[in-house]
Copies of this chain bind each other. A is one copy, B any other.
Amino acid sequence: MDKLRFGAGVWMFQQFVDRYATDAYGPAVSTIAAIDRAGSVGGIEVLDINYPFAGEGSSDGSDVSIDNVREALKRNGITAQAIPPHIYMREFQMGSFTNPDPAMRRKAIDLGKKAVEIAQALDAKYVKFWPGQDGFDYPFQVDYARLWDYAVEGIAEVARSAPRQQFAIEYKQKEPRVQLFFSTAARTLLAIEDMGVDNVGIVLDLGHSFFAKETPADIVQLVSRRGKLVSVEVNDNWREWDDDMAVGSVHLIETLEFLHALRAINWQGPILLDQFPFREDPVKAARSSINTIRTLNSLLDRIDLPALAAAQDKQDALEAQRIVMEMLIGTGVAEATR
C-alpha cells in the first residue's frame, strides 16, 4: 500500500431500519443524496453502489437513472467500485441463487447479468454478490448438496456470461437468513473452485471475518495466495454479530494486524468502509474510521519489521507482543520484558 485509498458502501449514507424500529432510524435517502454525502466526507474515492438504485420519491428507484448516478459521482470526484444487485429483498426471501423455485433462481441470475450492464455503464471494477438470503433457517430444511450445486451453478452462469467482468462474493455467517451458505472464506474458496471460472473472487469484510471467528490477517494470505482477493471492506463488531461499527473500536490490535497483512501482500486497492451508523452521523462516522485507519497505518510505518520477522520466526509470543505494544501505546513495555 504505497498510499491508502478509501471507499465506502453507499448504503452507509442511506436510511437504516431494523425489525423493531420499523419506522426507521431516519428519513429515506436516495442513491444520489447518499453519493453527495459520501462526497462530503473527504477522502472517499470509490463507492460500492447497490442496484436497483434508491429513488428520490419512487419506491423502485425508477426516478434515478444511470446518468444521474454517473453525474453525482463525477461532481463528487468519486468513481464506482462495485455493483451489488439486490438479491436479498422481499422477492428473494427464500434465496436468490439457491431459491427452491427455478423461476426465482433464473430471476437472480438475470439480475446478476443486469448488474454487469450497470457495472459496465458506470465503469465499476466488479459485480458483488452478497447472497444474504441464500442458506437455510432450520435443521432438515434443505438438501445441502443441492444447495451447494444451486449456489455454484447460479453464480457460475452469471460469471460465464461476462468472462471479462470481475465478480466477487462477500461471505457472512448469518443474517438475514439464519444460516448463510457462503459463510466463511475457506468455504467460499471451495465453492469458487467448483464454479470452474476464473473471474469470481472474494470480498473480505473485516467484520464478517471477526464474526466467523476467523483470524482476518490469516484470511488475507489465504485468499490472496489463491489470487482471489478482489476487495476489502472494514468495520468492527463484538464478534458475535455483524454490528458494522467504527473501524478498530473493539478489535484494535487485530485491525492493526489486518492492515499489516494488507501491506505484506502489497494491497493496492482501496479500503471500503461498510458501517451501519444507526445512531450516528454517517459522514462523521466515516471520517472517524478513515482517521483511525490512517493513524494505524502510520503506526505500522514505525514498526520494527526485522524484529517482528525474527519474533515470528521463533513464534515468540512475548516478543511479538512487545513490538506491537511498543508501536501502539509507547515504549514502556519494551524495557521491562528484555
Contact = CB atoms under 8 A, between A and B. Distances in A.
Contacts of A222: 144, 148, 187, 190
A103 interface: no
A240 B299 CA distance: 29
Contacts of A278: 93, 137, 176
Contacts of A19: 16-19, 176, 276
Interface in A276-300: 276, 278-281, 284-285, 287-288, 290-292, 294-296, 298-299
Given A136-B315, A253-B250, A288-B333, A90 B141 contact: no
A246 B138 contact: yes
Interface residues of A, number: 112
A187 to B, nearest CB: 4
Given A173-B213, A186-B190, A333-B291, A24 B90 contact: yes
A142 B23 contact: no
Contact of A328 (B218, B239, B243, B252): B252
Copies of this protein in the assembly total 4
Contacts of A246: 138, 317-318, 321
B25 A90 contact: yes
A334 B174 CA distance: 30
Interface in A231-284: 238-241, 243, 245-246, 248-254, 257, 260-261, 276, 278-281, 284
By CB atoms of chain B within 10 A, which of A148, A176, A321, A333 has the most?
A321
Given A187-B222, A249-B253, A288-B325, 19 more contacts: A17-B17, A21-B89, A21-B133, A26-B90, A93-B278, A138-B245, A138-B246, A138-B250, A138-B317, A139-B253, A144-B222, A148-B222, A178-B245, A186-B189, A239-B239, A281-B318, A291-B336, A295-B329, A296-B329
